[in-house]
Amino acid sequence: MATPKRYDIQVSAESFYLEEQSDPAQNRYVFAYTVTLQNQGSVAARLLERHWIITDANGKIEEVRGEGVVGEHPHLRPGEGFRYTSGAILETVVGSMRGSYQMIADDGTRFDAEIPPFVLSIPRTLH
């Protein structure tokens, strides 16, 4: 069996359209997304910062940087996970998000955990 990487935070996300908070007449489309982080490495690590790149269907790009997620700086020991839900507002019915989390391992090493791209879309917009 292969030795696990020392620093390996796997990230997945799922998005949901919030129709009750959206206002299509005003080009306001509200989405929630739930992110799951899983420490598959061999060293515990704490999430320090987030960096999101949000792109709408018009090609408008918004970058968001900040400390922690939902007011927290989760510390994940090997095998542990953390899940949270947040939101984004677009001016179009479809868009995407991607980015990274800046992590610090218990041994002092800083590394990035990539957030793979995922789609924000109102139902029945994409096939």
Average pLDDT over residues 18-33: 97
Which conformational region is residue 21 in: left (phi greater than 0), alpha (psi within -120 to 50 degrees), or beta?
alpha
Q: What is the pLDDT of residues 55-106, one digit of tens each?
A: 999 999 999 999 999 999 999 999 999 999 999 999 999 999 999 999 999 9
pLDDT band, very low/low/confident/very high, at 2 (cuts 50, 70, 90): low
Which conformational region is residue 62 in: left (phi greater than 0), alpha (psi within -120 to 50 degrees), or beta?
beta
Average model confidence (pLDDT) for the chain?
Answer: 95
Task: Give the chain's domains with CATH numbers.
Answer: 9-121 (2.60.40.1470)
pLDDT number for residue 127: 47
